[in-house]
Amino acid sequence: MQKITREQLIEKASALLADGTVKQVLGWAKGEFDYDITPAVFESAEELNANFVWSDFCGANFSKYLVSKTRKCDGKILVFLKPCDTYSFNQLLTEHRFDREKVYAVGIPCEGMADIAKIKEICADGIASIDCEGDALKVHTLYDDEPVCVPAADVLAERCVNCKSKKHVAYDELLGEEGEVLDSARFDEVAKLEAMTPDERFAFWQGELSRCIRCNACRNVCPACTCEKCVFDNPNSGVENKSPANSFEEKMFHIIRAFHVAGRCTDCGECSRVCPQHIPLHLLNRKFIKDIDNFYGEYQAGAEEGSRAPLVDYTTEDIEPGEVFDRRDTDA
């Protein structure tokens, strides 16, 4: 259950639209069901009242949309940012990807988002509606079964289970209470993989990555992937590929993509959320984050606007590439 209500957000947005502070509002629009929510642009209070939603299914991170939307809009855009979204927001600002002057950012608290796939695992298909009741979600099915009550904590998205921060690192205005940076267990899964033998690791990743259908959803949703033309879309690059024609190409795509966002990835978790094949892509990004923390000192991308990313920085005392395998397990 979210602490802030839909009405509060609509009221704030309507007021800012009415006094001319902003021209557009980036928000979540309701779908056919209670869980299929689409990012949308709202331009009036009527539109907001009709279609705006704020619920446990508003996972979409709007930061990346600002890159294209600020170019198109001649006024300011209101954007609602959950704590984790603010890190992406800062990171994009650091990389000068949009004009800060054209954005009015409203920070909103978040109690974690639900993962519809987890709900569907508990309640079979045929979800008629989902109501939020305190700390539980009540799922009604199309069949004459009793509604199923699932604790919201049991169906939290992976990234919310391992939420790294409830603190907003950027905003013009904050609704609700400010939270804290949390101690999360987000690297546990990575450490577990590191503890395996190379053969086991290889088998694990081969199994996961072989499901990839190269739909590029992970790349296109990623707030760190803002290249105007991706190397994998460029027919002249020699590595362009539209499909995983070979198991090598899946690996190359995911290694290169993770590497390209290394040091810039805020661990927002959008890649894993959107993957239609449920590949745990965050485990690649977190490996880089863990290594960077280990080798070059703690660094959280997006925590501070204008910070220097670890891969465009160096010290003369850096670890040698040949030593990384030994150093990994010793300190955390």
- CA–CA gap between residue 90 and residue 264 (Å, rounded): 10
Phi-psi region of 168 (alpha: psi -120 to 50; beta: other; left: phi over 0): beta
Task: Determine the residue type at 164.
Answer: K
- The CB-of-314 to another protein minimum distance in angstroms stands at 4
- CA–CA gap between residue 130 and residue 148 (Å, rounded): 9
- The CB-of-20 to another protein minimum distance in angstroms stands at 22
* Cβ distance to another protein smaller for residue 148 or 217: 217
- CA–CA gap between residue 287 and residue 204 (Å, rounded): 15
According to DSSP, the β-strands at 103-107 and 77-81 are parallel
- The CB-of-167 to another protein minimum distance in angstroms stands at 26
* Cβ distance to another protein smaller for residue 167 or 214: 214
Q: Which of 25, 3, 4, 5 is nearest to 14 (CA)?
A: 25
Q: Residue 21: CA atoms inside 13 Å, Cβ hemisphere, count?
A: 16
Q: Which of 201, 205, 114 is nearest to 157 (CA)?
A: 114
- CA–CA gap between residue 151 and residue 132 (Å, rounded): 10
Token couple for 123? 């309640």
* Cβ distance to another protein smaller for residue 74 or 125: 125
Crossing angle of helices 198-209 and 247-261, in 10° steps, is 100
* Cβ distance to another protein smaller for residue 8 or 216: 216
* Cβ distance to another protein smaller for residue 3 or 192: 192
* Cβ distance to another protein smaller for residue 37 or 169: 37
- The CB-of-78 to another protein minimum distance in angstroms stands at 15
* Cβ distance to another protein smaller for residue 61 or 90: 61
- The CB-of-276 to another protein minimum distance in angstroms stands at 4
- CA–CA gap between residue 27 and residue 80 (Å, rounded): 7
- CA–CA gap between residue 285 and residue 262 (Å, rounded): 7
Residue ranges of alpha helices (H) inside 129-269 are 158-161, 188-195, 198-209, 217-221, 247-261
- The CB-of-143 to another protein minimum distance in angstroms stands at 7
Q: Residue 215: CA atoms inside 13 Å, Cβ hemisphere, count?
A: 13
- The CB-of-5 to another protein minimum distance in angstroms stands at 22
* Cβ distance to another protein smaller for residue 150 or 252: 252
- The CB-of-4 to another protein minimum distance in angstroms stands at 22
According to DSSP, the β-strands at 136-141 and 148-151 are antiparallel
According to DSSP, the β-strands at 173-174 and 148-151 are unpaired
* Cβ distance to another protein smaller for residue 19 or 144: 144
- The CB-of-227 to another protein minimum distance in angstroms stands at 12
